[in-house]
């Protein structure tokens, strides 16, 4: 087979080189040259004779795609209600986190109704069989292929509707130089798979490995090519795993699914109210629960703070699950607007359960948790809070206030501290929960810690 001619292009300045070089001759940066193929012939042909023409919006047919259920409800939720047919979904995660396991389970479920091809480029057929037995997958229609060459995979895939590639770093195009997993190979393989999904009407799931820094291995363009990117996260020693959508063309990219790894496979955890909150909160100072919105759901998350006197010159600031800059900003606001001393204290803040609080609505809970820690006074177990905090110390309104209050009521909280500007929307719930509207952090601290002394 004739080799596709390729070139090496600098991702920074666009300099083209016929061979790979460590240092770009154009901009002088190191490691920026990436192999790219020259445009395939059919693309050149289609430019010469245009076949596509513009269509008026009103003339475009309204095709309703029935989403396919994966058989795992939490995964369906993260995908936005199931997989959209003919889309391409990328699942990334650390080694051994359970990527192959979850997709084997999904394949087993979908094979009940569709023709499924599981391409295992990393493991032998007997290994896949062993896993299927452990997961009690008996679907007869589930076909397994042990193959690394994409050209061959494409040919075989023609007879199937649903294809799983395990993994994108293990497959390669023999027409391209560069080993499997190299930037050029990953990028080209992903675009070929995308074309396969869209032009031949296949639904494709692709597994991707992550690098040491936690990003998906391979070029960033890999994430641009696919329709949906999901990350599987979790501590190796912890059986709880989080599946997070970071890009979704057909649903919310804020959704988080909670799973448990068991010996019979991945199990969904639908009632996760206890996952991000501890039972004995309220006994110690420094913990408070916020109502965080993730996608379409409200997740109750406990924020914990610990302070200890600085031994060395520079006080330490260590947030887990909360943005570092956001935490430093909140500390400054508390020092200046609520006169709480942190200048000689090491501060540790943790969002429980490994979740990341990216919404500004968690600011107020971080404030209260820090105030509780510095005053060494616990906050009532049945108190919850949400609201954005500004640099002037004001508590600003947040979106979905009603949803958050409803969730607090459902979980049995007795008191909710909210921004004053959100009060109008939620005052109808005042008979079910004590609603405390506040305008400033100092006021919120007084309400949250009514028994604290002003030391």
Ligand X SMILES: Nc1ncnc2c1ncn2[C@@H]1O[C@H](COP(=O)(O)OP(=O)(O)OP(=O)(O)O)[C@@H](O)[C@H]1O
Q: Give me the residues that bind Mg ion (CB under 5 A), please.
A: 100
List the structure tokens of 150.
């994409």
Candidate ranges 88-96, 153-161, 197-205, 373-381; the one touching ligand X (CB under 6 A) = 88-96
The partner in contact with residue 98, picked from ligand X, Mg ion, none with C-beta cut-offs of 5 to 8 angstroms by kind, is ligand X
The CB-of-232 to Mg ion minimum distance in angstroms stands at: 11
The CB-of-181 to ligand X minimum distance in angstroms stands at: 13
* Size of residue set near ligand X by CB under 6 A: 12
User: Binding marks (x or -) toward ligand X, 103..122, rule CB under 6 A?
Assistant: -------------------x
Residue among 172 and 386 whose Cβ is closer to ligand X: 172
The CB-of-129 to ligand X minimum distance in angstroms stands at: 14
Site for ligand X in 262-301 (CB under 6 A): 263
Between the alpha carbon of residue 437 and those of residues 205, 253, 401, 422, 434, the distances in Å are 47, 30, 12, 8, 10
Contact residue for ligand X among 93, 184, 295, 393 (CB under 6 A): 93
Per-residue three-class SS string for 64-127: CCCCECCCCHHHHHHHCCCECCCCEEEEEECCCCCHHHHHHHHHHHHCCCCCEEEEECCCCHHH
Q: State the Cα–Cα distance between residues 315 and 8, nearest whole angstrom.
A: 48
Candidate ranges 43-51, 92-100, 178-186, 368-376; the one touching ligand X (CB under 6 A) = 92-100
The CB-of-279 to ligand X minimum distance in angstroms stands at: 26
Residue among 98 and 218 whose Cβ is closer to ligand X: 98
Contact residue for ligand X among 97, 193, 197, 426 (CB under 6 A): 97
Distance of CA 118 to the CA centre of its chain: 24
The CB-of-94 to ligand X minimum distance in angstroms stands at: 7
Q: Which of 184, 188, 231 is nearest to 209 (CA)?
A: 231
The partner in contact with residue 54, picked from ligand X, Mg ion, none with C-beta cut-offs of 5 to 8 angstroms by kind, is none
How many Cβ atoms from other residues are within 10 Å of residue 275's Cβ?
19
Q: State the Cα–Cα distance between residues 157 and 250, nearest whole angstrom.
A: 24
Say whether residue 409 binds ligand X (CB under 6 A): no
Distance of CA 416 to the CA centre of its chain: 28
CA angle centred on 104, ends 102 and 108, rounded to 5°: 115
The partner in contact with residue 22, picked from Mg ion, ligand X, none with C-beta cut-offs of 5 to 8 angstroms by kind, is none
Q: Which residues bind ligand X (CB under 6 A)?
A: 93, 95-101, 122, 134, 261, 263
């Amino acid at each position: 087979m004739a080799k596709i001619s390729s070139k090496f292009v600098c991702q920074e300045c666009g300099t083209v080189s016929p061979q790979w070089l460590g240092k770009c001759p154009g901009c002088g940066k190191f490691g920026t040259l990436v192999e790219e193929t020259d445009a395939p012939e059919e693309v050149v042909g289609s430019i010469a004779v245009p076949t596509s023409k513009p269509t008026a919006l009103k003339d475009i047919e309204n095709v309703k795609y029935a989403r396919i259920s994966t058989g795992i409800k939490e995964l369906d939720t993260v995908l936005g209600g199931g997989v959209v047919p003919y889309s391409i979904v990328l699942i990334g995660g650390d080694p051994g986190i359970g990527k192959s396991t979850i997709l084997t389970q999904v394949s087993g479920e979908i094979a009940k109704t569709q023709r499924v091809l599981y391409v295992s480029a990393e493991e032998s057929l007997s290994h896949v069989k062993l896993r299927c037995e452990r997961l009690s997958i008996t679907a007869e229609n589930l076909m397994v292929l042990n193959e690394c060459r994409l050209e061959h995979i494409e040919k075989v895939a023609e007879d199937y509707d649903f294809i799983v590639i395990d993994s994108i770093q293990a497959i390669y195009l023999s027409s391209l130089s560069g080993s499997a997993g190299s930037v050029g190979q990953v990028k080209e393989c992903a675009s070929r798979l995308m074309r396969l999904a869209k032009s031949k009407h296949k639904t494709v799931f692709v597994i991707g490995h992550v690098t040491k820094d936690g990003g998906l291995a391979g070029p960033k363009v890999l994430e641009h090519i696919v329709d949906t990117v999901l990350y599987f996260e979790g501590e190796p020693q912890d059986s709880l795993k989080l599946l997070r959508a970071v890009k979704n063309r057909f649903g919310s990219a804020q959704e988080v699914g909670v799973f448990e790894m068991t010996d019979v496979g991945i199990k969904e955890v639908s009632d996760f109210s206890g996952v991000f909150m501890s039972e004995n909160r309220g006994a110690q100072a420094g913990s408070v629960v916020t109502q965080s919105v993730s996608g379409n759901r409200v997740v109750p998350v406990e924020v914990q703070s610990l302070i200890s006197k600085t031994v060395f010159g520079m006080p330490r600031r260590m947030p887990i699950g909360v943005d570092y800059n956001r935490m430093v900003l909140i500390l400054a606001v508390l020092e200046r607007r609520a006169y709480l001393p942190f200048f000689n204290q090491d501060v540790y803040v943790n969002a429980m359960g490994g979740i990341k609080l990216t919404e500004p609505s968690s600011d107020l809970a971080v404030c209260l948790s820090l105030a509780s820690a510095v005053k060494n006074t616990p906050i009532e177990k049945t108190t919850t809070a949400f609201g954005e905090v500004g640099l002037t110390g004001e508590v600003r309104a947040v979106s979905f206030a009603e949803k958050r209050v409803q969730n607090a009521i459902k979980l049995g909280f007795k008191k909710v501290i909210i921004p004053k500007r959100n009060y109008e929307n939620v005052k109808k719930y005042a008979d079910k929960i004590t609603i405390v509207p506040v305008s400033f952090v100092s006021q919120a601290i007084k309400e949250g810690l009514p028994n604290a002394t002003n030391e």
